[in-house]
Structure formats: structure tokens, C-alpha cells
Structure 1
Amino acid sequence: MDSVLRRSVRGPVLLLTTAAILVIIALVQAAMLAKLREDRRIDAHRAAENVVRTLALTIDRNLKLIEVSIVGVREALALPEVQAMPASARHLLLFNRIAIPHYLGSMLVLDENGNIVIDSGTVAPRQANFADRDYFKVHRERDAGTFLSSPYASRLRQNDPSIGMTVRLSRADGKFDGVVLAAFRLAFFKSLFEKVDLGPDGIISLVNTDGTMVYRHPSTDGTGNAGESVADAPVFARMRATPNGSFTGTSKIDGLTRYYVTQKIGDFPLILSVGISTSAIFAEWAVQAIIVGLLTLVVCGLLAGIVLVLRRALVHSYNMEEQLEHMAVTDALTQIPNRRALEMALDTEMRRATREKSELSVLVIDLDFFKQINDSHGHAVGDALLRSVGRQVTRAIRRPGDFAARLGGEEFVVILPSTGAAGATFMAERIRKAIAATQVATDDGRRVNTTASIGVASGMIQASDPTDRLLREADGALYRAKGGGRNRVVGSHPNDGFAAAQ
């Protein structure tokens, strides 16, 4: 468990886990901000929807009142007795019974040539011709029903901006006989729209379905942009596609991006839109997003910093522990495993050999006449020789499971798992030859070498065997090798080893 934890801390696991946590925190904050942003959009939508619904209802009611009025005039003029009435009586009949809206300009009856024949403003009609107006041309060509004209400057009211609502007059044979016109002043829309506060850069637009601007507040030209064509504007295309809906678009007129809510005006070819600036909608949210974003960065930065500092401290602690552990099982002079490591390895291999019912061999190596080398050449040369012997012993064992350690002084031990007497003796002889070939230089340039006596113990291991059984047997064989003349390999049983002459 501890090794798994150490690998996790040292490897990418801790860093990846921390990164995942930071990503989760960021995603949670992003989701929260997205929810807040959507809430702001919904609030703006509801506000704009309420405004557009109220305005559309007011506009529709006034336009319908005018439509009823001009249709009533047309129906009255269709009666012969009305046509035969004196002009003053007919004027009273046609106009005094009509509830004229506040922003209605003039109601006129034009003949087939566009001249005024009946005028709501006076019994004696004013002199003017309107054959050039779009509403007159349309009705002259066909019966267009109730027609709303493009905005125009009134010739009877000092260029007062207006739109005309007209119906066709037809003779009994269906031929064109003129129009009934009601002029509706654009000041009505100006007064109506100015009462609404949509915040910075908010707009209200009334557009004909043919793309002609009827009135826009606030305007960019001081006249409500009346008559300006927006037919090729992307926002108008969206309005025409969804006359009763909502969308986000950029205005062709001022280039600002807004959230639009639209509604068609009853049966009339008009679309009303309320546009709220997206920057105004999300201004408060943007401040919240900046604050939350900064706090998230600070928290994530602190968390990452804490994790990095903690990781560095843990890695340092683990390194120190492992260094101490290594020092505890490593011989300081030769840098190979020491006696403590040997005892642990021997216990492990004894258990494995018992479990697997396999042979195990132990070699005990002792350098010959090492004390004389120390006395003659000094401990520095002796230490150098021990280090060199340690390297030779380590190089001689080649299998992953083989183990070499310094037992103490000039003694070394080798453990050979799954190895019988013959294999162990062969390995011992290889080590003996390698040691015999080892030389170290003295301060005066002379070369010093040594030989080794090696005791070998091999056999099957029983569960009842003490851990140091083979070690003691190999040690006994070592003493026999020493007594037999040194520089030789001797087994713990007869015929297990063979002697080599110095």
C-alpha cells in the first residue's frame, strides 16, 4: 500500500488527479455562470415580451379603429341617398359619427384621378392630388383590401410624417372609382415608444413586411428612420421568418447586437420588435463572471500550489526514507547489500524454496590473508580491494534472483535460488577465479591482489529448517577450505566441491 502511494505521489497520478479536480471545479463554475447567464436572458425575454405584447395590442387597436372608420365611409358612399345628400349633410354623416383617434391626420375620399372630393377637415375639400402615392397606384391596379402605405411627408399638414391606410372604391361594374384614405401620424408611434425604457441601446422598431421601416425609436436620423429599407438586413430576415418569436442579431442601422422579441400586429402587414442590447442584458452577469472567474483562478491556483508543495515535501520525505532504507541494507564501503539485507533475502528464499520444493544454495566467501594486506599496505588499499571484490562477486551472478552481500570484514555471501550443488560449485569457482584476477594499485605503484576460499552449501529446504541452516553449513565448508590450503572451493558434503591450487 505504501509503495502504491509513493508511486502515485511521484508519478503523474497525483498531478493528473489534481488537474482533474481543478477541471471539475472550473466546469462547475462554468455551469453556474452559464445558468446565471441563461437566467438573465430569460428575465430580459420576459420583460421584452411584456413590452412588445402591450405595444402590439395598442397599435392593433388603433389601426383597427381606423380601418373600421374608412370601411364605414366606403359603405356609406355606396348608398345612393348618401351620394345625393348636400355636401354639408354628407360631411356630418360620414365623419361626425366616427370616433376619430387622437393621431389620425385627415380622412379623405379621392376620385379615380387622385383628387380630393371629400375632406374630413372641411366641407369644401382642399385642393390636392395624390395620384403619385403608392396606395393610390396599388388600388388603381387591383383591389388590395385594406392597404398600409409606406411612410410619407403629408402635403396637407406641413410634411408631417404619416402612413396611409386605404380601401378601394369601385363602381357597380367593378371599375376603379378612387380610394378612401386615413392618414395616421407617425407621432403616435414616437409618443408610444418614448414611454418605454429598454435600458442603454434598447430599440423598438415597427417594420412593414416588405422591409420598409415605419418607425424606430431611438432613431439615427431624428425621424424614426421612417421609409428606410431594411429588406436586406439579417435582422429583418429573422423577423420575417419568425414574426412571433425571439432571436439575437446585429442591427444593420447601428451595428449593435441585441436580443429581439417580435410580434406581428394583428392582420396588418406590420411586425413590431423590441431589441435589448446584449451588453446591457449581461452587464451585471459579466461582472459576476469576472469575479467568479478570478476567485476560481485564485482557488485553483492555491490548490495547485498546495498540492505541488505537498508533493515536493512528500517526494523529499520518501526520498529520505528510501535513502535511509537503502543505507540500512547497503554496505557503506562496497555499496552492495549488507548483513541485514542478507538475513531478509535468506529468509525469503528459504520460504520460497520450501513452498516450491526447490533446491537452494549458499556460498560463503572469505578473502585469504586479508589482514596481512591491511597491515602491509594500509586500510586504504584494503578498502579498495574489498570494493573491487564486491564488484566482481556482483558481476559473477547473472540471474535476476541471485543475491550477493557483504557479511562483514572480508566475508561475502551469495544466495543462489533453484540451484543444486553442481551449479553452486560452478558459480563458486567462477567467483574464485574472478577474485584471484582482481588487482588494486598501491600509492607506490605496486599491484596487490588476493585469493578467496569459498564454502558451498546446497540442498532441499524443509519447513522446520532454521533460516541460517545453509549459511552455517557453508560457513563450515569455508573453514575446511581454509584448513585445506585456502584459494579453493569446498562443499558442505563430501564430493560437493573441488580444490584449486593457489
Structure 2
Amino acid sequence: MGITRLAAACLARPSLFIVGATAAAVAMACVAAVALYEMRQDAFARARDSAENLSLILQRDIERNIEVYELSLEAAIDGVKEPAILHLPPAIRQRVLFDRSTNAQDIGSLFVTNAVGDVVFESRFATPRRLNLSDRDYFAIHQRSADAGLFISKPFSPHVTKAETSIGLSQRLTDSQGHFAGVVAGTLRLNYFRRLFDGMTLGDHGSITLIQSDGTVLMRRPYKREDIGQSIAGVPSFEPLIQSDNGCYIGTATLDGAQRLYSFRRIGKYPLIVVVGLALQDIYAQWTQRAWAIGGVVTVLDVLIIWMSVMFARLFRKRLEMENRLHLLATTDSLTGVGNRRVLSSTLETEWKRASRDGRSLSVLMLDADNFKALNDRHGHAIGDEALKAIAQCITKNIRRPGDFVGRYGGEEFSVLLPSTDMKGAIKIAENIRAAVMATELAGMGAQPVPLSVSIGVATFDGMGSPAETSEQLLRKADHSLYQAKAAGRNTIMPRQTHGEAAMVGDPWPST
């Protein structure tokens, strides 16, 4: 039932097609927007998981290698404290103090120095080279502090191989009284981190950065030599890195200005932080392509739906206009513009049934243009047509209620239906119509105006009639009253008014 009513409403008001189609288009666009939003959220969630997994892998790999190196340093410290080892031949002592891990790729030499920084033992040579490391920060820190633990230095170029930038890992040596006795130090080439980072899948604009807890950059992908050793401690993107051992955030890179999703982790107990950054433009690259494709399809469909609704609305509007014109032609008298005989009959029947059901009165006026044949003969049919139009206008102007109806009965006769109107009220309306027709001036063939008048018969159904009465009987009563009015001299109303009121008489045309 609801669908039927909606269809009927759309047929009655074609603009509803456009409204409905626009609502459907908006709904489709909203569904697509929600779907695209969820796809965007999914892309971000996958990228976050990927960044966290990469940072975890890198953290574990770097931590494991530094732990191995730290164990090598501790083994060398334990060996130096054994007098028996120190008295071994140099070649054997070298093998005992330094394990084979020191020969691994990207692992530099391990050194044992005395209190002034001179190298006394070296992992690569049985007879150590003449080197002094007192200028290195990893020596100076232990010389000043007994609690430095494993110290990781700033990037530097080794004394021998200047081209290979490295970092130093060192621990303090003490004598039997606990005084500073030197350091055990080793170098780790930064190329190890570079190769490790290059093996990760990041996207075209991703980055991996290894920094010290003081903000010093040790390695970065994409690699730029000038970035190594720089400090980012004062920039806003560094603050989240020192507030937690791990986490994720969106920030703008200081070194290249790209906006990325960052996942960071501290390397175990060491003062190192690895930061994996996935560029937002890479994260949303596929989503953007799909969004353009889906958005384009939805836009085309929406435009097509609205365009088709406009076309349908125009088609139905033309159909309605045509139906209205046909209905008007079928129900309206073409000359006078009032209802025709067929509509008059159906309207009378409807009003009769309503009056009978509700017990209300119904009055009928039958009007006839006086001496119409004489008017046609004297002034022609064109003037006769104008006279009928003028009479129809006078009737229409004097019946203003929505239920009142006027129809052309035939020839020069008109009929007026007055629902809920008694005899007295009907006679009053009839008098108004008669007076209005009398006051109408119609230009004739000569200079003299053409006089117009009507005779009116009135009949009323009081709503209490017998079931045998019909609407046709009421119409015949009005027609009979009309003939009485014409017989009484025309330009009058029948039945006549009573209670001392004068009858309306006066014939502008001689009887024929």
C-alpha cells in the first residue's frame, strides 16, 4: 500500500522523481564515502602493524649483535685481569683475549689500552700498532666516570681506515685498587646498519633511523652522508622517542620534511633507538587510486540517476499536462468555460447522494438567456456567443463557495448546483446573478448596447426526501420553475419571493 501511494504521489508530482533520485544519489554517495573511510582506516591499521613489526625485527637484530660484541669486550676484560694470560706468547695471548667474533663483517679491531690511552693489545695483530686513543670520547668518558658501563660513542672515522665511519663500544678497565687502568674498546662500522636497513621494504618514501638517546643520528635510510652525526634533540618529533620504550605516532621528519607514521623501539638496555617511518603518501597510495576509481564510478552513477530522473520528470509532466488538457476538454464547455452537460450530470448525482446521506439541503438553479433567438437574429451568432460568455461569467462571479458548480445544460441554458443551500439562500444567489446579468453591457452591431437578462428557476431538496426521489426529479423541478419564470414575463425568478418582497420582472426584449 505504501509503495502504491508513493507511486501515485510521484505520478501526481513529477518533481518527486527528482527529489527521490537525488536522495538515492546522496545515499549512494554516503555509502561509498563510509566504505572509502573504512578502507582508509584499514590501510592505516595495516601500515601501523607493518611499521611495528619492522621496528621489532630491527630492534632484536641490533640488540643481539651489540650483546655479542659486549660479551667479546667482557671476555677481553676478564683475560687482561689474569696474569697467566698476560705472560703467554703474543700470538697465543691474542687468540685467548679475542674470540673469533671480532673477525665478523663490519666488526673493527678490539683494543686494550693503558691508563694514558696507548694500545697495549689488539685483536687483529699479535704485536699491536702504535696507537693512542686518548682523544676518543669512548676513552674520555671512562676516564672521568666509573659508572659509564658499556659506552657507545659518536660516529667517527677510524685512525687507520678513514673512509669507513664507525662507532666505538667501550668498557672501563680498573686495577686491583679500583683505579682507572684503561679501556677495552672496539669499533662497529655503520655500514652494518646501512645494509640492515636496505634489506627492509618501506615504500618509496619510507625511512629508518637509528639514533642515540641524546638525539645523535647514527644511520638513516634514505642514506645521506651529511645526516650522520647530526643531532635532532631539539625538534618536536624527537620528544615522543624519549618518553617511552616503544610507540607509534604521526610526525614530520626534520631531515626531509616528509609526514610519516613512525614506530620506534629502544634497543634493549642500550642508549639507542630505532625509528621506522612509513610515508603517509605511500600508506594511502593504493587507497587513493581506489578512491578515485570508486568515487568516479559513484559520481557517474549519481549524475546518471539524477539526469534520468529529470528526464522522467519532464516526461511525466508533459503527460500530466496533456491529461489535464484532455480532462479539461472532456469536462469543460469550450465556449463558456464552465462545466459541460456530462460533468453537470455526474456532479448533480454526487451532490444528491451526499445531501441524502447527510440530511442537508441541495438547491438547483436553471437559467435561460431571455429572447436569445431574437438576439442572434438581430446581432448575429458572434454576439450571441459573447452573450453566453458574459452570462457564464456573471454566474461564476456570484457562486464563490468551493462546492458550488455551474454547468452549461444546453443551448442558452445553464444550471447551478448549490450544496447546503436552502430555498431562501438559493433565491438570493439567483437574484444576484440576475442583477449582474442586467448590469452587463454588451456592444452590438450598432451604437446601442445589447441588453441582457435571464430567467431563473429554483428547486431545493431539503435532505429529507423519500428514497424514491432522484436527482433528475430535482433538476426537472428547477426546469419547471424556469418555464414558470419565462411564462411570467422573463427576467424573473421562480418561485417568486414572498413576505411582501416584489417579484423581479421586466423583459428587455418583446416576446416572440
TM over 0.5: yes
CA distance in 1, matches of 2:468, 2:252: 91
- 1:93 alignment partner AA: V
In structure 1, the residue matched to 2:504 is 500
User: Does the aligned pair in 2 maintain the 1:131–1:137 contact within 8 Å?
Assistant: no
Q: How does 1:111-122 map onto structure 2 within 5 Å?
A: 111-122=114-125
Over 3 Å counting, the alpha-carbon distance change for 1:4 and 1:282 in structure 2 is closer
Contact 1:246 1:260 (C-alpha < 8 Å) held by counterparts: yes
Q: Distance in 2 between the 1:396 and 1:104 partners? A: 115
- Preserved CA contact (<8 Å) 1:70 1:180: yes
The alpha-carbon distance between structure 1 residues 113 and 468, as it changes in their structure 2 partners (threshold 3 A), is farther
Partner of residue 13 from structure 1, selected from 12, 16, 22:
16
Specify every segment of 5 or more residues in structure 1 that has no aligned partner in the other structure, as ranges: none
What does residue 428 of structure 1 align with?
430
Greater relative contact order, per chain length (Cα 8 Å cut-off, separation 6+) = 2
Contact 1:115 1:131 (C-alpha < 8 Å) held by counterparts: no
Moved more, 319-328 or 114-123: 114-123
Q: In the alignment, which residue of structure 2 is the partner of 1:384?
A: 386
Partner of 1:62: 65
Residues 187-234 of structure 1 deviation map (CA, whole Å, 9 limit, x = unaligned): 111222233343423332212232221101222x336x2112223445
Shift of 1:64: 0.6
Letter in 2 for 1:15: I
1:164 corresponds in structure 2 to 168
Instruction: Look up the SS of the partner of 2:430 in the other structure.
Output: helix
Equivalence for 1:104: 107
> Retained in 2: the 8 A contact 1:260–1:275?
yes
Further displaced range: 29-38 or 443-452: 29-38
Using the TM superposition, name which of 479-488 and 297-306 deviates more.
Answer: 297-306
CA–CA distance in 2 between the matches of 1:251 and 1:445? 101
Match of 2:483 in 1: 479
Looking at structure 2, the residues matched to 164 and 19 of structure 1 have their Cα atoms a distance apart, in angstroms, of 70
Distance (Å, rounded) in 1 between the aligned partners of 2:435 and 2:474: 23
For residues 46-69 of structure 1, the C-alpha deviation after alignment (integer angstroms, 9 at most, x for no partner) is: 555554443333222111101112
The residue number in structure 2 matching 1:356 is: 358
**Which amino acid in structure 2 is aligned with residue 366 of structure 1?**
D
In structure 2, C-alpha distance between the alignment counterparts of 1:417 and 1:311, rounded to whole Å: 38
The DSSP-based 3-state class of the residue aligned with 2:296 is helix
- Counterpart CA distance in 2 for 1:329 and 1:227 is 97
Q: Which of residues 117, 131, 147 is equivalent to 1:127?
A: 131
Between the aligned partners of 1:475 and 1:120, the Cα distance in structure 2 is 137
Matched residue, 1:459: 461
Secondary structure of 1:453's counterpart equals strand
Structure 2 portions without partners, runs of 5+: 507-512
2:396 match: 394
8 Å CA contact 1:474, 1:491 repeated in 2: no
Correspondence for 2:221 among 214, 217, 224: 217
**Contact 1:6–1:318 under 8 Å retained in 2:** no
Contact 1:136-1:179 at 8 Å conserved across structures: no
**Secondary structure, in 3 states, of the residue corresponding to 1:27?**
helix
Corresponding residue number in structure 1 for 2:372 = 370
Q: What is residue 327 of structure 1 aligned with on the other side? A: 329
Greater Cα shift, 241-250 or 15-24 = 241-250
Q: Contact 1:377–1:442 (CA<8 Å) still a contact in 2?
A: yes
Deviation at 1:312, TM superposition (A): 0.6
The 1:399–1:97 alpha-carbon spacing in structure 2 relative to 1, beyond 3 Å, is closer
Structure 1 counterpart of 2:110, which letter? M
Q: Which residue number in structure 1 is paired with residue 304 of structure 2? A: 302
Contact 1:455 1:492 in 2 (8 A): no
Q: Which residue of 2 aligns with 1:28?
A: 31
C-alpha RMSD of the superposition: 3.1
Contact persistence 1:139–1:167 (CA under 8 A): no
On the 8 A contact 1:214/1:226 being kept in 2, the answer is yes
Report the Cα offset of residue 160 of structure 1.
Answer: 2.4
